[in-house]
Amino acid sequence: MGSLVVVGVDGSSSSDAAVVQAAREAQRRRATLRVVHGFSWPVGPMYTPLDPSPLNRLAHDSAELARSVAPEVEVTDAVMTGGAVAVLTAESRDADLMVVGRRGIGGFVGMLLGSTAVSLATHSRCPVIVVSEEPDDAGPIVLAVDGSPEGENAVEFAFAEAALRGAEIRAVHAWLPDYAPAGMGVESAERLLAQAVVGRRERYPDVTAAQEVLSGETREVLIKASSGAQLMVVGARGHGGFAGLLLGSVSQALLHHAHCPVAVVRRGA
């Protein structure tokens, strides 16, 4: 298919889980997998260049882990000079999918800190899957639907991913009666869900999509819905965001607290 999956690594357990996820994603897509470690050299008169051998070994070992998960996938590895966010954002320009760990090793310049996942989800040019532990391919794909333009890309990604995985979709919309816009009742929320999925049924006839309006605060509802899921899919921004805010509070909350891997899909990604 000529596609590319990129995974950012730093040697942490979260990073290893991301490698496993990325290898499976590359296998599903019949894509090449590129394992990347971004590293910034310390600068200043008191610092001397470090031996790059451990970094090369880190990338190589991560690539070997990927090959053990998906032996038929072509895997390459690279150590790139630069901060993790800058390096991986640049890599995302040529990628179809980026995968990173939720939390990395702290205290070392250039390593994948927890903030890297949020920053990358904000700036990546392709969808990003953030992983905290070795993924479980059981359960549905939970799709957060809010009717926003960002959400349209998330819906398309969720259906394509479900088709690749042979998974069901659970499309959910959080509705809080006391804060709903005027005229936005349960019936309107149900119509919003139906409109989001109806156009995909012809393109993905083998994908089953259940629709569910859940009452409650959006972040709490979606975090709870992620329990037992194999993937949560959300747009980078939803309704109610502030101009210039590239990653919404709901997306950030899910990145930190969801019980499963989270795919963040930006508009145009």
pLDDT(110) > 50? no
DSSP conformation letters of 98-121 = EEEESS---SSTTS--HHHHHHHH
pLDDT at position 113, please? 39
At 144 the three-state DSSP class reads strand
Angle between helices 53-69 and 13-29 (to 10 degrees): 50
pLDDT at position 107, please? 36
At 37 the three-state DSSP class reads strand
pLDDT(51) > 80? no
pLDDT(60) > 60? yes
Q: Considering the entire predicted model, what is its pTM? A: 0.87
Q: Given pLDDT bands bounded at 50, 70 and 90, which one contains residue 184?
A: low
Residue 233's DSSP bridge partners are: 143, 263
Ranges 12-21, 47-56, 193-202, most confident: 12-21
Token reading at 132: 């905290």
Task: For residue 31, count other CB atoms closer than 10 A to its CB.
Answer: 21
